[in-house]
Amino acid sequence: MALLTTSCVIGAGCLTLASKHHRGSMNPNLNFIDFDRAPKSHLNNGYVVEPTEIIPSIRILEDVFIIPGYDALYTVAGDRIYGTRRSFVPNDLQFAVRTLEKFNASYAAHAPEHVDIPKNYDIREDTTYYGGIAWTHYGHFIMDGMSRFWALDLFPSDMPIIYTDYRAPNYIKQPYIGPVLRSLNIAERMFSPNTPVLLKKVIVPTASIQNVHRIFNVHSKSHVQAAQAMLADNSPKFKGRKVYLSRSRLAPGLRHSEQEALLEQKLSAKGFSIVYPETLSLQKQVDIFNHADVIAGTCGSAFHTSLFTQNHFTGKIIILSWEKINFRYLMVNSIKKYSITYINSCKIEGVHENSRISSLNIDYNKSYEMIMQTIT
């Protein structure tokens, strides 16, 4: 049976968290332009921002199974261990039954509540660190794939980091993942078993972001550490520049907009560099989010790179959005202190069967005018 021992590794890390949504200090430089809903309504009823002094808990578990094909850790009895699956709803917050049912159903196949423990398995006697689940999607890697890295420097620098990667066998080789792992000096320590393994002792840090429900201030800790290493020996290429992050070269169906080219023409005439994030190395994207004077674009994963901004960043971030802003972006904004403005200048035009947005109609004249107004 897994020994669910909570270790108060640092200070107030084991405080019991209340279920009141949205608390902690908000980014005072968070602005909204032309939204029907009052800005505070985006922030007060969706998620929890933990005060700076509170850190996630760390558990030390004994006799735990990691089984290829499943996105969680399991006890020797085959029961899923709370808080170890790909994403989860915090059990100290109150949610509607339908919300919980929908969430649990989406993970039923790859992180069921109970599994049959295989008869044949390996045993790992040394202490390992649970790095979570492999995410190859850029935004999810930055947001969720790094959510257990915040506690790495609290443990020996040679401790093996175990993770599940059955969906992503080439996880570490991804061009935007490898640089982060190497910058943190953990690439050589990470491994994913291809057979069931009984872990005799494993460190399980609580994820610093929990779906769309809670974020801790330490969430960007490893991002900032990676940024410092990535930029240490390189002169900034985007210092003082105005940058527009374009989606126009992404494949059709990925929130494409026919009007974006017109907006780019107008911004280019005003000195903006039109940049296509998917064509840049992660290092160059991190450079942008640490040295550019202005970073604008339509809402998308490219803006999750703002987690890599260091405290000295004084640029302005401008996101073109539609009426309903995804909480995940607001959660990141809540723990960073940069200046960010959301402009309601897009309309949803097409939607995929899975409810993801396929295309947008950008009011390019309004977007241009509001961007220029914001930076002057």
Render 177-219 in DSSP notation, one character per residue: THHHHHHTT-GGGEE--SS-EEEEEEEEEPPSEETTTEE-GGG
Domain annotation covers residue 31: no
**Which runs of E-coded beta strand occur in the chain?**
5-7, 30-33, 48-49, 58-66, 73-75, 122-133, 161-164, 190-191, 197-205, 209-210, 214-215, 242-245, 272-275, 294-298, 316-321, 339-344, 346-351, 357-362
* Residues 325 and 350 sit within 8 Å (Cβ to Cβ): no
Residues 191 and 249 in one domain: no
Domain annotation covers residue 38: no
Bridge partners for 350 per DSSP: 359
Q: What is the largest CA-CA distance in the chain?
A: 67
Domain annotation covers residue 274: yes
Domains identified in the chain, total number? 2
Residues 194 and 105 in one domain: yes
Residues 186 and 330 in one domain: no
Residues 80 and 142 in one domain: yes
What is the predicted pLDDT for the residue at 251?
A: 79
Torsional sign, CA 115, 121, 122, 125:
positive
What is the predicted pLDDT for the residue at 19?
A: 31
Q: Which residues contact 84 (CB under 8 A, 6 or more apart)?
A: 72, 73, 130, 204
Domain annotation covers residue 33: no
Enclosing domain of residue 121: 5-26+47-228
Provide the CATH number for the domain around residue 338.
Answer: 3.40.50
Query: Which of 174, 202, 228 is the last residue in one of the domains?
Result: 228
Domain annotation covers residue 257: yes
Q: Which residues contact 19 (CB under 8 A, 6 or more apart)?
A: 92, 93, 94
Residues 56 and 193 in one domain: yes
Residues 192 and 309 in one domain: no
Cα pseudo-dihedral 54, 147, 280, 283, rounded to 10: 60
Domain annotation covers residue 311: yes
Query: pLDDT of the chain along its 376 residues, tens only?
Result: 444 433 333 322 322 223 333 444 557 788 899 987 655 444 444 566 665 678 899 999 999 999 998 989 999 999 999 999 887 677 777 665 666 777 777 777 788 999 999 999 999 999 999 999 888 888 999 999 999 999 999 999 999 999 987 566 677 888 889 999 999 999 999 999 989 999 999 999 999 998 878 889 999 999 999 999 999 988 899 999 999 999 998 877 788 788 999 999 999 999 999 999 999 999 999 999 999 999 999 999 999 999 999 989 999 999 999 988 888 888 898 899 899 999 999 998 888 877 788 889 999 999 999 999 999 9
Residues 217 and 240 in one domain: no
Q: Which residues contact 102 (CB under 8 A, 6 or more apart)?
A: none
What is the predicted pLDDT for the residue at 273?
A: 97
Residues 54 and 202 in one domain: yes
Residues 21 and 131 in one domain: yes
Residues 74 and 222 in one domain: yes
Residues 218 and 235 in one domain: no
What is the predicted pLDDT for the residue at 238?
A: 95
Domain annotation covers residue 143: yes
Query: Which of 188, 203, 228 is the last residue in one of the domains?
Result: 228
Domain annotation covers residue 40: no
Cα pseudo-dihedral 258, 264, 266, 267, rounded to 10: 150
Query: Which of 228, 263, 291 is the last residue in one of the domains?
Result: 228
Residues 95 and 166 in one domain: yes
